[in-house]
Amino acid sequence: MNIDFSEELEAFRREVADFLDTAPTPAIREAGRKTTSVFAPFKEVMAWHRILHAKGWSAPAWPVEYGGTGWSVEQRYIFAEEHWKRDLPPLLPNGLQMVGPLIMELGTPEQKALYLPGILAGEDYWTQGYSEPNAGSDLASLSCSAVADGDDYIINGQKIWTTLAHEANRMFMLVRTNKEAKKQAGITFLLLDRMDYPGMVVRPIIGLDGLPEQCEVFFDNVRVPQSGRVGAENDGWSVAKQLLKHERGGAALSPMLRRKMALIRQAVVDAPSPHGGTLADDPIFQRDLGEVEAELVSYEAFERMILTGHPIGNDPAMPSLNKIMSTEMTQLLGVMQARVAGLGAVPQQVEALTVDPAAEPLDDLFSLTAMPFYLNARATSIYAGTNEIQRDLLARTLNAA
């Protein structure tokens, strides 16, 4: 997508480009090339977070009073575009894009003072304790309980698909505080300021890519302070819905998706076609790739409307619409990368996804990361509320209009 920016904004672009060309370490750059989901390799992305924080650029979308940059929407877009051009790792979203903005909006002054500086500086990583073995898409069915006892809650139960919980030092979670009320009415939102409470056990889950990104977390009479509650007791469902607006809205994604399309088109030149020749000469593949390109242009136009102040940016349905479009676009690109990579896209690729600057560089990261990207893309239409739920929300919004 080409947008005509003023000379002042182009000067800002040059400043961003100069910094991004020199600040990342080789390990950070390698981590970016090996990122196959919204969660980049942990050690390297947290190091990159701290470098950006030292520059004052770790939270472009945060208000200035909480440490944000004060950048305009156009500046944030330029930064995202230049960031993705260099295949740099995206900062982890749980703190900066999800629980951080929630604490700003609904947290107490004490919670803001305690938690926001660590999120901004990249000193803390927050894992999300929502899903349970019997409460995924139907999250309101969660049963992990918290019983008030003096100034504490005592938690019992289990959480699953808690991303990078084995690396986290904090958690935000939903618990059942009233078993008698309607499902949504008996839930409370809690902030846990540590992950090593007595009775708390984190167990990594090895994924299809051979890496332990997801975890399950067990609670056995875990005592946590009530001061970590956000909002009123039993009103956690409202708090969670507020957080989901940030999770579904997200930052500008089209620069990342455009970069992925450019890599696919570059690889097509030498990729063999099952019908002979290369995929660049295969009319069937080129037809399919053209359809994906058209979808991407459509999504870029959607982001451009938001960027230029179109009223849709303030529409209550926008987060759901953005979630559907961005995740399905990501899945389309995952399919195309896997098709181009062909037999090189094998499912077990720990070597390709493990950052080791001392190791010999891998020749074909496009193929080696194709299957992990494809597999991670499958989950995008499920997390943050399935796309089927988002379409239902859109229908209800239109029906009420």
Cβ 216 vs Cβ 197: under 8 Å: no
Cβ 376 vs Cβ 37: under 8 Å: yes
* Angstrom distance (rounded) from CA 374 to CA 333: 8
Query: How buried is 194 (Cβ within 10 angstroms: 0-12 exposed, 13-18 middle, 19+ buried)?
Result: exposed
Tell me, yes or no, if 247 is annotated catalytic.
yes
Neighbours of 269 (CB within 10 A): 10
Facing residues of 225 across strands? 152
Active-site annotation holder among 30, 247, 300, 303:
247
Torsion of CA 162, 168, 173, 179, to 10 degrees: 70
Pair of tokens at residue 35: 């990122």
Containing H/E element for 50? helix 42-55
Q: Which sign does the torsion angle of CA 310, 316, 322, 325 carry?
A: negative
Taking the alpha carbons at both ends of the chain, their separation in whole angstroms is: 32
* Angstrom distance (rounded) from CA 307 to CA 297: 15
Q: Which amino acid is at 311?
A: P
What angle, rounded to 10 degrees, do the helices at 387-400 and 318-341 form? 150
Cβ 132 vs Cβ 159: under 8 Å: yes
Cβ 339 vs Cβ 286: under 8 Å: no
Catalytically active residues are 247
